[in-house]
């Protein structure tokens, strides 16, 4: 497998608080994290919708990260900032390229 990406679709009117929560997690819990890169995006066609893309080396490393207490705490706190339950997409990377 070439990698693993988890996309989290969130609906929130409190995106600044969600991003601040992410910054807090990164600053205090980076040791042991298996996240390789995270990207926040805003849906320009749907107000209040965002996609968060989290990249991992593998599905296994994503699950290892998911099982960390810090991740569970973050998820619970983030859900409270959302206007609807987050939707998760678990994607196996088949190929990447750069022009």
Query: Each residue of 38-86: pLDDT tens digit?
Result: 999 999 999 999 999 999 999 999 999 899 888 889 899 999 999 999 9
pLDDT of the residue at 24: 85
pLDDT of the residue at 63: 93
Residue 97 inside a domain? The answer is no
Overall domain count for the chain: 1
Residue 99 inside a domain? The answer is no
CA angle 32, 34, 36 (to 5 degrees): 130
- For residue 31, the SS3 value is coil
Query: Each residue of 23-50: pLDDT tens digit?
Result: 888 777 667 788 899 999 999 999 999 9
Residue 8 inside a domain? The answer is yes
Residue 24 inside a domain? The answer is yes
According to DSSP, the β-strands at 4-11 and 37-42 are unpaired
Residue 64 inside a domain? The answer is yes
Residue 53 inside a domain? The answer is yes
Range of the domain at 52: 4-92
Task: State the CATH number of the domain containing residue 80.
Answer: 3.30.70.100
1 pLDDT more than 90: no
């Amino acid at each position: 497998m070439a990698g693993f990406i988890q996309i989290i679709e969130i609906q929130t009117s409190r995106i600044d608080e969600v991003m601040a929560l992410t910054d807090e997690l990164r600053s205090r819990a980076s040791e042991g994290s298996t996240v390789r890169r995270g990207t926040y995006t805003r849906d320009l066609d749907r107000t209040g919708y965002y996609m968060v893309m989290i990249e991992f080396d593998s599905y296994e490393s994503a699950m290892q990260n998911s099982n960390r207490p810090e991740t569970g705490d973050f998820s619970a706190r983030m859900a409270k900032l959302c206007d609807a339950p987050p939707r998760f997409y678990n994607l196996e990377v088949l190929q990447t390229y750069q022009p």
